[in-house]
Amino acid sequence: MNVVIIEDENLTGKRLESMLNKYDPAINVLARIPSVAEAVAWFSEYDRTMPSSPIDLVFMDIHLEDDLGFRIFEQAQLTTPVIFTTAYDEYMIQAFKVNSIDYLLKPINYDELVAAIEKFKALKKQFGQTPPAAPDLETLLNLIGRSKQTDYKERFMITVGTKIRSIETGEIAYFYLEEKVVFLVTKDGLTLPVDYSLDKLTQLLNPRQFFRISRQFLVSLPAIQTIHAFSAGKLKLDLVPKSRQEVFVSGDRMTEFKEWLGK
């Protein structure tokens, strides 16, 4: 089976590929692609150079680094069956199910992945090589738009060893980036890795509660204990719980940060 993974979170992409190999070592992951633009270019090149080796299945994140994954259908005329992966709550997944093979909620559960692939195989056996109808893009984009306006991520499912912990967003003080890994810090000082970039978290979290102060930090308002003003308007923050790194507000975010504090 030839598979393509479209996912802008490197750790998530690697984990998905590992689970696919666990399910069936014969699965051939042709590419892991992080953006809409790169996916459109990749599919165009693949169709031109490898017409006799069709792609059987695509795993696609909804939010990519440059746009919504649905845009790939518009620009690449993609007809390959798709299993979407998403950080949305379950009710959103149910709303989408009619438009694709399946939807997997992040962090992806191995048993649910297996069930989705088995569903794909059963549909393929029943309907042969006929590709499924393309998703109703207008409906999907409208749903996404409404969700972005009113609904933000309320909890994070964190995998720690063989256990999964549920962390309510209200329990989180801040997120930080260290050695290419993003960590969340809870109000009681617990530090856990998360499978999201700070860019993605900025999209998923309520902007009234969290602010991206720099490339390294995304903080909640209650976590800010003290703000120190330096020369040239530079700001340093004391966070609670205390950060191991010094925390500064980037110069290009200074004005927005002050506006955010005043809301």
Comparing 17-21, 93-97, 114-118, the range with the smallest average pLDDT is 93-97
What pLDDT is attached to residue 93?
52
Q: Which of 150, 169, 193 is the last residue of a domain?
A: 150
Please indicate, yes or no, whether residues 138 and 241 belong to a single structural domain of this protein. no
Specify whether the CB–CB gap between 6 and 63 falls below 8 A.
Answer: no
What pLDDT is attached to residue 88?
62
What pLDDT is attached to residue 144?
53
Say yes or no to pLDDT of 92 above 60: no
Q: Which of 150, 172, 204 is the last residue of a domain?
A: 150
Mean pLDDT to the nearest integer, 116-127: 84
Please indicate, yes or no, whether residues 50 and 140 belong to a single structural domain of this protein. yes
Question: What is the extent of the structural domain holding 136?
Answer: 2-150
Please indicate, yes or no, whether residues 16 and 73 belong to a single structural domain of this protein. yes
Q: How far apart are CA 222 and CA 190, in angstroms?
A: 16
Please indicate, yes or no, whether residues 9 and 120 belong to a single structural domain of this protein. yes
Please indicate, yes or no, whether residues 119 and 164 belong to a single structural domain of this protein. no
What is the tens place of the pLDDT at every residue in 14-26? Answer: 999 999 999 999 9
Say yes or no to pLDDT of 122 above 90: no
Please indicate, yes or no, whether residues 114 and 98 belong to a single structural domain of this protein. yes
What is the number of domains present in the chain?
Answer: 2
What pLDDT is attached to residue 72?
87
Please indicate, yes or no, whether residues 132 and 14 belong to a single structural domain of this protein. yes
Please indicate, yes or no, whether residues 83 and 168 belong to a single structural domain of this protein. no
Please indicate, yes or no, whether residues 9 and 138 belong to a single structural domain of this protein. yes
What is the tens place of the pLDDT at every residue in 141-190? Answer: 555 555 444 468 889 988 877 788 899 999 999 999 999 899 999 999 99
What pLDDT is attached to residue 212?
94
What is the tens place of the pLDDT at every residue in 183-235? Answer: 999 999 999 999 889 988 988 898 889 999 999 999 999 999 999 987 777 89
Please indicate, yes or no, whether residues 113 and 201 belong to a single structural domain of this protein. no
DSSP for the chain, please give it: -EEEEE-S-HHHHHHHHHHHHHH-TT-EEEEEE-SHHHHHHHHHHHHHH-TTS---EEEEESB-SSSBTTHHHHHH---S-EEEEE-S-HHHHHHHGGGSSEEEESSPPHHHHHHHHHHHHHHHHHHTTPPPPPP-HHHHHHHHHHHHHH----EEEEEETTEEEEEEGGGEEEEEEETTEEEEEETTS-EEEESS-HHHHHHHS-TTTEEE-SSSEEEEGGGEEEEEE-GGG-EEEEESSPPSS-EEE-GGGHHHHHHHHH-
Bigger pLDDT: 21 or 258?
21
> For the domain that residue 113 is a member of, what is the CATH number?
3.40.50.2300
What pLDDT is attached to residue 94?
47
Bigger pLDDT: 125 or 184?
184
C-alpha distances (whole Å) from 231 to each of 3, 214, 224, 236, 245 are 54, 18, 20, 11, 20
Say yes or no to pLDDT of 45 above 80: yes
Give the single-character DSSP code of 25. T
What is the tens place of the pLDDT at every residue in 58-89? Answer: 999 888 878 888 888 878 878 788 898 877 65
Q: How far apart are CA 164 and CA 158, in angstroms?
A: 5
